[in-house]
Chains A and B, each alone.
Chain A
Amino acid sequence: MLKPVGTAGTLFAFFLDVLRALFRRPFQLREFIQQSWFIASVTIIPTALVAIPFGAVIALQVGGLIKQFGAQSFTGSASVLAVIQQAGPIATALLIAGAGGSAIAADLGSRKIREELDAMMVLGIDPIQRLVVPRVLAAMMVAFFLNGLVSVVGVGGGYVFNVILQDGTPGAYLASFTALAQLPDLYVGLVKAVIFGLIAAIVACYKGMNAGGGPKGVGDAVNESVVITFLLLFVVNFVLSTIYLQLVPPKGG
């Protein structure tokens, strides 16, 4: 019955190990660049494609609601808030976990069952410092930039749908950006994206490095890593949003 608690504990211990290895030299720059490029290459296009409908749906929904209140001129502001604070980091994290994390878990898992990780440890090299740290940093960096991409594409998609489908005025959409939204909204979005990238990479590496029982074990590890990441993301997102809303007063108020 206490097994999930134990798993959570070892996952956290793994996180601390990674944190410690982060400061150990030499830093694996090559691996970091390779992994960053790899994660970026598997996530950029899906992220952009997800961001367009995301922004559009928010624009349609919010636009429809706001029209009933007779405050159409604030549509732009509301959709910017929603995209930057919530949709951006979540969409980023889902793709980092789904595309990048699953690839990381599969890669490390297959290395584990081929005893490559054991061989590395026997050769006196710590796989956490060598393989995990560059991957975690790469996922965090790519998440940071992807979040920017989602924000731009999402807001752009919202603009197109609001102006073309809902007969909103282009000027009002743009002008109302700063009516409700403020700079800390952007910061919290970026911080969230980086934290989500960290969680996705840590879980993927942990699951991959603890894969066992042959090829099926690797499949299971990938599956579990994606599911666990998603669960954690939504919980953490809720906590971060609550803290943010408590700490930073909304602009309108």
Chain B
Amino acid sequence: MGVEIKVDNLTKSFGKSLIWADVSLTIPAGEICVMLGPSGTGKSVFLKTLIGLLKPDTGSIVIEGTDIASCSEKDLYEIRKLFGVLFQDGAMFGSMNLYDNIAFPLREHTKKSESQIREIVLEKMDLVGLLGTEDKLPGEISGGMRKRAGIARGLVLDPEIVLFDEPDSGLDPVRTSFLNQLIVDLNAQIDATFLIVTHDINTARTVPDNIGLLYHKHLAMFGPREMLLSSEEPVVRQFLNAQRVGPIGMSEEKDADELEAEKDQDLPPLPPIPMQLEPSSGIPRRSQREPGGWCRDNGVTPPPGSFEANMSMTTKV
């Protein structure tokens, strides 16, 4: 299933400083999207606006016919039950152990008996590989475990939309790739709409169906993974390939002199597009597209070597 999120003309500023303006995009139901952007471009602000924790200045966010930007507090609390959110540090309640943390939404919002709750909690803890740590307090476990516990808590209410705020920050590469696999498997299993906010390119290149790029106070591009990975657009190209040559500088934007100086430099060729990460069960996800399908439909020639198995950029395990 999953639910579509329709964002229209969203603008947000804090006081006089504009965060981003006129962001319009539709996050398709049941697909995995990644929102990318250099540090400090308001990716987390975007995510918090989507759940109604921050009010945008203008624009609308429509989920199942309700506009989050203008609806009443009561409707907002209702619509939030559709969401599962993973915060950057897991945001576990420090005074409760992991079991109570994960059981918390069930105890608050459902009339399930303790034994039913126990069943669901243990199932979700097993899913994220945390069985046996039920009695630990959030302060006693590592950051990676807190993140996984955060995912488990976000999933107990069977959400239609799952948001991840930098799931890969502060994790080692191995854990990151396990986490990415977990995200893909989860999507295959529950068919919810996923939005991942990150600046890890490896995640962005292999996990999602769609990619969006926030840059310089606006949404530079949003579309299917292959469209962005084969794009010649300077910002997109620079960011997705982690290059120094391009419009993004150390402090937000390069000035005219710097751009002039590198005008004649040859851009390195686009690296090949990796295969998308597949569910570990081997059964394709419902929203998964055929590799190279978008390129073929739109007459774009993918960079040489694309869609080959065992490429170095894949995080397949």
User: Which A residues are closer than 8 A to B by beta carbons?
Assistant: 110-111, 114-116, 118-126
* Interface residue? B88 (CB, 8 A): yes
Binds A, one of B89-97, B184-192, B199-207: B89-97
In the complex, chain B residues 99-137 whose Cβ is within 8 Å of any chain A Cβ? 104-105, 108-109
Picked from A122, A124, A125, the residue with its CB within 8 Å of the CB of B53 is A122
CB-defined contacts of A111 to chain B, threshold 8 Å? 93-94
Cα separation A25 to B159 with both chains bound (whole Å): 25
CB-defined contacts of B51 to chain A, threshold 8 Å? 122
Cα separation A111 to B92 with both chains bound (whole Å): 10
**Is B109 within 8 A of A124, CB to CB?**
yes
**Is B85 within 8 A of A116, CB to CB?**
no
**Is B85 within 8 A of A119, CB to CB?**
yes
Chain A residue nearest in CB terms to B163: A122
CB-defined contacts of A124 to chain B, threshold 8 Å? 77-78, 80-81, 105, 108-109
Query: Could you list some 21 contacts between A and B, CB below 8 A?
Result: A111-B93, A111-B94, A114-B89, A114-B94, A115-B87, A115-B88, A115-B89, A116-B93, A116-B94, A118-B91, A119-B87, A120-B93, A121-B53, A122-B51, A122-B53, A123-B105, A124-B78, A124-B80, A124-B81, A125-B108, A126-B77
Minimum CB–CB distance for B138 against chain A, Å: 9
In the complex, chain B residues 122-171 whose Cβ is within 8 Å of any chain A Cβ? 150, 153
Chain B residue nearest in CB terms to A34: B95
CB-defined contacts of A120 to chain B, threshold 8 Å? 93
* Interface residue? B20 (CB, 8 A): no
Chain B residue nearest in CB terms to A113: B89
Minimum CB–CB distance for B164 against chain A, Å: 13
Chain B residue nearest in CB terms to A123: B105
**Is B83 within 8 A of A122, CB to CB?**
yes
**Is A115 within 8 A of B91, CB to CB?**
yes
**Is B109 within 8 A of A114, CB to CB?**
no
Chain A residue nearest in CB terms to B73: A126
**Is A123 within 8 A of B80, CB to CB?**
yes
Chain B residue nearest in CB terms to A120: B93
- Chain B residues with a Cβ closer than 8 Å to the other chain, count: 22
CB-defined contacts of B104 to chain A, threshold 8 Å? 123
Minimum CB–CB distance for B290 against chain A, Å: 35
Chain A residue nearest in CB terms to B93: A116
**Is A122 within 8 A of B89, CB to CB?**
no
Cα separation A152 to B51 with both chains bound (whole Å): 52
* Interface residue? B55 (CB, 8 A): no
Q: Knowing A123-B104, A124-B77, A126-B77 touch, does A118 contact B53 (C-beta < 8 A)?
A: yes
* Interface residue? B48 (CB, 8 A): yes
**Is A122 within 8 A of B85, CB to CB?**
yes
CB-defined contacts of B91 to chain A, threshold 8 Å? 114-116, 118-119
CB-defined contacts of A123 to chain B, threshold 8 Å? 80, 104-105, 108-109, 153
Minimum CB–CB distance for B141 against chain A, Å: 14
CB-defined contacts of A122 to chain B, threshold 8 Å? 51, 53, 80, 83, 85
Chain A residue nearest in CB terms to B54: A118
Cα separation A114 to B90 with both chains bound (whole Å): 9
Cα separation A122 to B79 with both chains bound (whole Å): 9
**Is B48 within 8 A of A118, CB to CB?**
yes
Chain A residue nearest in CB terms to B82: A124
Picked from B87, B92, B109, B153, the residue with its CB within 8 Å of the CB of A118 is B87
CB-defined contacts of B109 to chain A, threshold 8 Å? 123-124
Cα separation A111 to B96 with both chains bound (whole Å): 13
Cα separation A126 to B78 with both chains bound (whole Å): 12
> Which of A110, A123, A125 counts the most chain B CB atoms within 10 A?
A123
Cα separation A119 to B93 with both chains bound (whole Å): 9
CB-defined contacts of B48 to chain A, threshold 8 Å? 118
CB-defined contacts of B150 to chain A, threshold 8 Å? 119
Minimum CB–CB distance for A44 against chain B, Å: 23
Chain A residue nearest in CB terms to B44: A115
CB-defined contacts of B85 to chain A, threshold 8 Å? 119, 122
CB-defined contacts of A110 to chain B, threshold 8 Å? 94
Minimum CB–CB distance for A116 against chain B, Å: 5
Chain A residue nearest in CB terms to B108: A125
With A111-B93, A116-B92 known, 9 other A-B pairs at CB within 8 A are: A115-B87, A115-B89, A115-B91, A116-B93, A118-B48, A119-B150, A122-B80, A124-B77, A124-B81
Cα separation A126 to B108 with both chains bound (whole Å): 11
Chain B residue nearest in CB terms to A121: B53
Task: Kindly supply a per-residue 1/0 record for chain B positions 272-289, scoring 1 wherever the CB is within 8 Å of any chain A CB and 0 otherwise.
Answer: 000000000000000000
Minimum CB–CB distance for A115 against chain B, Å: 4
In the complex, chain B residues 206-265 whose Cβ is within 8 Å of any chain A Cβ? none
- Counting from the closest, the 7 A-B pairs by CB-CB distance are A119-B91, A115-B91, A115-B87, A122-B85, A124-B80, A123-B105, A124-B77
CB-defined contacts of A116 to chain B, threshold 8 Å? 91-94
Cα separation A115 to B51 with both chains bound (whole Å): 14
